[in-house]
Amino acid sequence: MTDKVRIDKFLWAIRLYKTRSLATDACNAGKVHIGEITVKPSRDVAMGNIIEIHKDGLCKTIRVKELLSNRVGAALVQNYIEDLTPPEEYARIEMLHKVNSEYREHGSGRPTKKDRREIERLKDIY
């Protein structure tokens, strides 16, 4: 266990970002907040901090339970953070994915011109 960890390293270690440089870029772009304050990548994280991350249209909120500086397996992440993101946020993202993608039965072939027009009409409604 460490006493202090940079925010970019912590976000990488808990697998919110694939690389540390992506976490750094997110901090520099203003997509990471502790409280109401936009943080720089060099900001230290403390236990109990509430971090807000804006990523892929999702506003994810987490509480730091314990600090770590090395990347851990996905199954162990829950030992270090508590997810405070409201279920409505996940439902909103799920609805957006459903609206923006259409499902066709496997083996039904390409959509006909009529099918394509119906799909476009349905997408215009939402």
Which tens digits make up the pLDDT trace of 26-79?
999 999 999 889 999 999 999 999 999 999 888 999 999 999 989 999 999 999
Residues 69, 116 within the same domain: no
The answer to pTM > 0.95 is no
Q: Which domain holds residue 104?
A: 86-126
Cα angle 15, 59, 35 (rounded to 5 degrees) comes to 90
Cα dihedral: 37, 41, 45, 51 (round 10): 50
pLDDT for 71: 93
Query: Residue 98 corresponds to which tokens in the numbers above?
Result: 């459903």
Enter the tokens of residue 57: 């249209």
Same-domain status, 53 and 99:
no
Number of domains composing the chain: 2
- Reported in sequence order, the residue ranges of the chain that DSSP labels E, i.e. its strands, are 5-6, 32-34, 37-38, 44-45, 50-55, 58-64, 81-83
Q: What is the pLDDT of residue 97?
A: 76
- Within a 13 Å sphere around the CA of 119, how many CA atoms are in the beta-carbon half? 13
| Residues 3 and 56 reside in one and the same domain | yes
Query: Taking a C-beta distance cutoff of 8 angstroms, is the pair 72, 80 a contact?
Result: yes
What average pLDDT does this structure show over 11-37?
A: 95
